Chains A and B, each alone.
Chain A
Amino acid sequence: RKEVEQDPGPFNVPEGATVAFNCTYSNSASQSFFWYRQDCRKEPKLLMSVYSSGNEDGRFTAQLNRASQYISLLIRDSKLSDSATYLCVVNPFLHSGYALNFGKGTSLLVTP
């Protein structure tokens, strides 16, 4: 079983829509969590870290549910420029040092 699971999508949404992605992880001892954004054929870039209390950065909100071992990303008022693949990333910490576990990504396409 893959340690980090994501719905691959694609999610096709109109501009201005709200879209949510979920991710589940298998290692309950995981210590830190991130969402990365990856544009086509480009490197992954950190979008935001995810904290237990939930955190918001502009139109983006990330939530962590440790009991259910899932992470979510909410994008409000979608822009065309939000089209990308969003990677859920988990740091298992105790079991593999500081090597991150990456989900396969969820593809988002925002249309006019």
Chain B
Amino acid sequence: DADVTQTPRNRITKTGKRIMLECSQTKGHDRMYWYRQDPGLGLRLIYYSFDVKDINKGEISDGYSVSRQAQAKFSLSLESAIPNQTALYFCATSGMGPDTQYFGPGTRLTVL
């Protein structure tokens, strides 16, 4: 079984709709991250969380919110989706220290 899972894997929605993307991990890591990837722009950090009570904005947090429901779960919400939020979204986790990150399989979101 995958260590980092994301649901849904694909989603098409309309402008103005509220969308939640979910991430779960079984790696036992405290740190979790949400990124989006756009062609030509690479991976950009949206939010990150170092533990359940610690949430931090990343490079591009406007239009997004997050919830860390438990050590293993980190959700990303788009309160009112807009077309330029169409992208591939990745959740990632890492352990303590300057460690590398482990990615989920991604959610492909299309906002019409």
Contact = CB atoms under 8 A, between A and B. Distances in A.
Do A and B belong to a common assembly? yes
Interface stretch (B11-19, B71-79, B96-104): B96-104
Interface string A7-37: 0000000000000000000000001101000
B100 A43 contact: no
A99 B103 contact: no
Contacts of B88: 41
The majority secondary structure among interface residues of chain B is: strand
B98 to A, nearest CB: 4
Contacts of A103: 42
Interface size class of B (residues with CB under 8 A): 20 to 34
B52 interface: no
B110 interface: no
B42 A43 contact: no
Contact of B31 (A44, A91, A98): A98
B90 A49 contact: no
B40 A46 contact: no
A104 B41 contact: yes
A100 interface: yes
B104 A34 contact: no
B58 A99 contact: yes
Interface of A: 31-32, 34, 41-46, 49, 87, 89, 91, 93, 97-100, 102-105
Interface of B: 31, 33, 40-43, 45, 48, 50, 56, 58, 88, 90, 94, 97-106, 108
